[in-house]
Structure 1
């Protein structure tokens, strides 16, 4: 919303109306430009899950990833699987 109205109003006016700190605005803007560092892992996790008839949990998925030389923390695998549903 801020980026859309930035041509009409100044950035400081928009941030004041929204009650958003300047640093928060630039932090979130930078986060949108960063590529997803787990994109490849997400694809491999989905592939393993489908090949195994949607029966594998995060522990078996992590073991299968290790066999494919993709080393990711157990917590990260759990989080990626939870977000994917």
Structure 2
């Protein structure tokens, strides 16, 4: 409802208040009553926090974002949520500027001879079934299982002659 009243207040120089109230389906008495109403407690608090937010922002060379501004206000015993500080900074047009580090000289690398391929370049893992992975050697085309112990023939249990079991 307040946005409708704000629109009427902004456009009253171009159109009649009676017509705009009819177009927006609000009462004239509500419009005039709202104009004479004092600020709410929330609006007063926001107006009180705006200069504090600007002061903290300016004191830190325009680099603090809403989280740091909120931390400074919280340390000074001001009760404001991070979201409120973010909204106030947006309304005031305060956008932090990140400090830039000086440019260093570019690092150049020279290679005296071409590098030989290493083992991690020669192999790739191929998943054929869930839970099993195979490695293919690029040069030889050989396959080797990964993730499982090597296959061994089953061992026969040796019986202890002194255990009494036949």
TM-score, normalised on structure 2? 0.38
Deviation at 1:77, TM superposition (A): 0.6
- Aligned residues: CA RMSD: 2.8
Asked whether 1:83 is paired with 2:83, we answer: no
Q: Which runs of 5+ in 2 are unaligned?
A: 1-7, 94-166
The C-alpha deviation readout for 1:27-78, integer Å capped at 9, x for no partner, is 64256x4264122211111110011000000000000000110010111111
Within the candidate set 22, 25, 35, 1:29 is matched to: 35
Cα distance in 2, alignment partners of residues 84 and 59 from structure 1: 16
Cα distance in 1, alignment partners of residues 85 and 33 from structure 2: 26
Cα distance in 2, alignment partners of residues 25 and 44 from structure 1: 32
Q: Give the corresponding residue for 2:68.
A: 60
Give the structure with the larger strand fraction. 2
Of structures 1 and 2, the one scoring higher in RCO (CA 8 A, sep 6+) is 1
Cα distance in 1, alignment partners of residues 17 and 56 from structure 2: 46
Q: Give the corresponding residue for 1:47.
A: 55
C-alpha spacing 1:27/1:68, structure 2 compared with 1 (3 Å): same
Q: Give the corresponding residue for 2:121.
A: none
Cα distance in 2, alignment partners of residues 25 and 81 from structure 1: 29
Q: What number of residue pairs does the alignment pair up?
A: 74
